[in-house]
Amino acid sequence: MAAENGVDAELQNSLKDLNAINEDINLIVEQLVDEEAALHAKYELKKAPLYKKRQGVIGKIPKFWLTCLEKHPIITSLIEMEDAEAISYLKDIEIERSTENPINYKVIFNFCENPYFTNSKLIKEFDFSDKGNAKVTNHKIDWKSGKDLTATAKTTEQEEFSENEEASFFCWFDDENGSELADLIANDLFPNAGMYYTGAISSDDEDEVHSFELVSDADNDDASEDEQVEGAPVPKRAKRT
């Protein structure tokens, strides 16, 4: 019996040592992820002149960005049918990165004159300087009378729109966070726009594309298992009558 207790104690000590080593490995992995993100942002900033040149070409293609958004395997599920009507007036998307710290950026949607809002630009800013605590700055959408696509969501008593089945894509511009959807736009959709438009990038396994809905900060830990996009509206559907 004493021998068995000795073996158990030795096993527990070994597992404790193994856990400590794993924690040290994870610290290095986290450092790698941070450095990769910073390097990616640095080179995205270097691509800025090419993106500007691309903008001139895109301007000649009707509904380019609406097509890209609707071909993206995740973002397409976040766009209501009426959202698509508004997005059809989208001229261009810009990702304006900080020259001092390129991981910080503005997501800018440039619109033609349209029947929905008076803004020529819809802007959402992200500052990731404080790791794990994104600072988000929203810019108000000036909706025209009777055209507010987020009006239904605003009538709920909740701070987030997670339980509102008619949340609009445009709710993201008012959300307190939304950094995961911003990451999809800034680091996937935007740099790969040409390939999304032509269909060179597509989802090979549609089963891996889940439904996403807005989640509150308190739900973020649980949401990771369901692969929910924080700050993203619920899937596209026809507006209820």
Distance between CA atoms of residues 15 and 140, nearest Å: 53
The arithmetic mean of pLDDT across residues 174-187, rounded, is 96
Residue 65 has pLDDT above 70, yes or no: yes
Taking the domains of the chain in order of start, what are their residue ranges? 1-46, 62-226
Residue 148 has pLDDT above 60, yes or no: yes
Residue 27 has pLDDT above 50, yes or no: yes
The arithmetic mean of pLDDT across residues 84-97, rounded, is 98
Residue 160 has pLDDT above 80, yes or no: no
Considering the four listed CATH numbers 3.30.1120.90, 3.30.70.20, 3.50.30.30, 3.40.190.10, the one that applies to the domain covering 62-226 is 3.30.1120.90
Q: What is the pLDDT of residue 75?
A: 96
Number of neighbours of residue 147 by Cβ within 10 angstroms: 13
User: pTM above 0.85?
Assistant: no
The arithmetic mean of pLDDT across residues 92-121, rounded, is 97
Distance between CA atoms of residues 70 and 77, nearest Å: 8
**Mean pLDDT in the chain?**
84
* Residues 168, 153 contacting (CB under 8 angstroms): yes
Q: Cβ neighbours of residue 47 under 8 Å, at least 6 residues apart?
A: 191
Query: What is the residue-wise DSSP string for 112-156?
Result: -S-SSBS-SEEEEEEE-SSTT--EEEE----BPTT--TTHHHHTS
Distance between CA atoms of residues 187 and 104, nearest Å: 12
